[in-house]
């Protein structure tokens, strides 16, 4: 089981531009704006919440809110990048909030990583309340430090990265064998890293 999760992480990392290659310019080691070593903002559509739902504060890692969320079993997602999201419901009935697969939380600090949700998350927010959610996500920036936790912009986006639908479909199926995963890792590793440059990849043993 442990090897299975390691392989899934490797597959995701390949999409993000986490590659072993001969020295190339930093702007080449990225499969899209905001991914890999790119300092540009990720591209996509705004994530809109249902009527009456709002975000309370900025998403960030908070021991207090984390304890609150964990105590109430409001834990969602997967990945090594953990942070808290607080949602407010101003209506008189509970509302389900959907965070689609491909949702990216953009770091306010360009030295810290952007966070990606690789599976859809549904959160039921009780009426007339504010609740804390503990989210787990993946970094899309292999060259940014993980020594401290990012504070994210309040406006999340849903990425338009062209390779993500195939990756997410494959992860959702959870039926990939080691050989198939290696082939897909190779395919994602060699998708476009920007114009005007080539990444010469070494095969992994």
pLDDT digits (tens, 9 = 90+) for 10-29: 445 544 443 333 333 444 36
Whether residue 31 is predicted with pLDDT greater than 50 in this model: the reply is: yes
Q: Which residue has the higher pLDDT, 109 or 205?
A: 109
Q: At 63, phi and psi to the nearest 5?
A: -55, -40
**What does the pLDDT read at residue 163?**
75
Q: Which residue bears the tokens 């080539």? A: 198
Residue ranges covered by each domain of the chain: 2-189
CA–CA separation, 121 vs 124, rounded Å?
10
Q: Which residues of 122-131 are buried (b: 16+ CB within 10 A; e: fewer)?
A: ebebeeeeeb
Q: Using pLDDT thresholds of 50, 70 and 90, give the confidence band for residue 49.
A: very high
Q: What is the pLDDT of residue 117?
A: 92
Residue 4's H or E segment, with its range, is: helix 2-15
For 138, the token pair is: 């993946």
| 182-198: average pLDDT | 46
Tens-place pLDDT, residues 89-110: 999 999 999 999 999 999 999 8
Q: 30 near 49, Cβ under 8 Å? A: no
Tell me the C-alpha distance between 5 and 11, whole Å. Answer: 10
Residue 105 to residue 113: CA distance in whole angstroms: 9
pLDDT higher than threshold 80 for residue 168: no
């Amino acid at each position: 089981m442990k090897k299975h999760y390691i392989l899934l992480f490797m597959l995701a990392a390949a999409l993000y531009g986490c590659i072993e290659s001969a020295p190339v310019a930093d702007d080449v080691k990225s499969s899209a704006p905001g991914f890999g070593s790119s300092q540009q903002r990720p591209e996509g559509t705004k994530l809109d919440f249902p009527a009456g739902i709002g975000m309370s504060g900025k998403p960030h890692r908070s021991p207090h809110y984390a304890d609150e969320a964990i105590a109430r079993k409001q834990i969602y997602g997967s990945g090594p990048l953990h942070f808290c999201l607080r949602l407010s419901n101003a209506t008189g009935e509970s509302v389900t909030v959907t965070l689609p697969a491909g949702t990216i939380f953009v770091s306010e600090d360009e030295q810290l990583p952007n966070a990606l949700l690789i599976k859809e998350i549904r959160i039921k927010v009780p009426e007339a309340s504010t609740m804390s959610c503990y989210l787990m996500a993946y970094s899309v920036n292999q060259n940014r430090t993980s020594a401290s936790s990012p504070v994210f912009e309040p406006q999340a986006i849903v990425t338009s990265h062209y390779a993500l639908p195939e990756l997410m479909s494959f992860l959702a199926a959870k039926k990939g064998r080691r050989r198939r995963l290696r082939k897909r890792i190779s395919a994602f590793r060699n998708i476009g890293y920007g114009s005007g440059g080539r990444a010469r990849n070494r095969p992994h043993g």
